[in-house]
Amino acid sequence: MSTIVFCAANKTALTSTRRCVFSHVKGLVGPGELQSPLASLTPLPGSRWLPRGSCVRFMSQGTAGGGSAAGRSRRAAAALSGAAAVTAAAAVAGLLANRKHFQRAEMATKVPQPAVGKEEEEVDILERCRSFMSEPVTDVGVLQERKAEMCTRMEMLIMETQAEFCRALQEVDGGTFKVDQWRRKEGGGGISCVMQDGKVFEKAGVNVSVVSGYLTEEAAKQMRSRGKVLKGKDGKLPFCAMGVSSVIHPKNPNIPTVHFNYRYFEIEEEDGSKQWWFGGGTDLTPVYVNEEDGYHFHNTLKEACDKHHSQYYPDFKKWCDRYFYIRHRGETRGIGGIFFDDLDSPSQEEAFNFVKSCARTVVPCYLPIVYKHLNDSFTEEDKDWQQVRRGRYVEFNLVYDRGVKFGLATPGSRIESILMSLPLTARWEYMHEPAKGSREARMLEVLRNPKEWV
């Protein structure tokens, strides 16, 4: 196999790529338009589109000379997982060539990439809003005035994450997201993007919420139970909270369910000081265990974490295994990923940059797995097992998930958006136990004994 790699670090090549792509751009879409801002671009012959990639990597078909198959798998997954670091609007990525599974595919982006670092403050807010699925929750004029504040920067990040992920899913499914804007009389609102009964996805939801008001006593009690010392004025605690949350339930049992959520919380105390923290994570829930998928998914997240702290991935991976645990079943919800909460160090800027890196992995850690299994065959028995596993997913979300509990305890919350995470269909069989030695039993063994994937 011959391999040519042009890394994004090559400024000359990257600049040339930008010029080439932007010379075709006819204009940015307006708020609420669903087509990609780069819809006028013509893809490479036989290619698919996928947002964000770190390298242009073309791989010829055939067997690579030298190295084990496992080594080729690791190198291929590592090449793709670096995708989260790139922010060029026209970065082009090849997926991976991996013996029988990750087939040759050339991918380029149709989604404008968000600015980072100092560029983030220099790019006009209105210009960035034009790539969103709808106009933002907060008035654009207010965002312009407060562009340096963390609430504005986080709202822009979650809107961009929603738009990028939705368009990547539309590209593979061929369907269209219903964009549903809602307002909350107590303050704020959200944008729910849902696609149901698509060709690939039975139910795909990507929600953004930006809410404000006063914490209820029940919500404040939940905060205090997590060690928060909250001192309100006259019993009131003003807060603002925002986040992006997504759950994707595919039709094919060989394509895993994925969930991610990244959020920011800010509370003002009686003396005017503010407490703030970030939380979130990304996790995978397959119906059947697949070693290569698990490695790719976890390695992509690990690389994003390692850019900020070497201990983030191992710590947050363990936290994920502990959090997404169905205690009454004695098993995890899926094969995990990363999860963290109450992140308020080492500084607000560094915590935000970490969350930004994580948010930018949601496409490269999941879409290659979707494409890999897109045409896999399955049986009625496979579908039955998928329905049983979805039942476990529902049990966790309704019994244990802290976000669902907080949402249901917050006045004015939109129930449809909170329960968007539930699948269209699920199944509960009495005393269900898979046959020994079966693929189902192997999956259950992994869920009962979480493993290290990287």
- Give catalytic residues, as residue numbers: 259
Pull the structure tokens for residue 281: 């994570």
Q: 350 and 276 in contact (C-beta within 8 Å)? A: no
Given strand 106-108, what is the order of strands in its sheet?
Answer: 48-49, 106-108, 92-94
- Output the DSSP codes for 216-278: -HHHHHHHHHTT-----BTTB-EEEEEEEEEEEEESSTTSPEEEEEEEEEEEE-TTS-EEEEE
Could you tell me how far CA 84 lies from the centroid of its own chain? 11
- Nearest-angstrom CA–CA distance, 15 and 12: 5
Give the β-pairing of 48-49 and 106-108: parallel
Compute CA distances 431 → 341, 352, 428, whole Å: 35, 45, 9
394 φψ region: left (φ > 0), alpha (ψ -120 to 50), beta (else): alpha
* Cα 386 to Cα 294: distance, rounded to the nearest angstrom: 18
- Nearest Cα to Cα of residue 155 among 381, 382, 356: 356
DSSP state of 131: T
Whole-Å CA distances, 346 to 16, 262, 275, 309, 350 = 37, 18, 14, 11, 7
Instruction: Decide if 151 contacts 242 (C-beta within 8 A).
Output: yes
Give the distance, in angstroms, between the CA of residue 37 and the centroid of all CA atoms in the same chain: 21
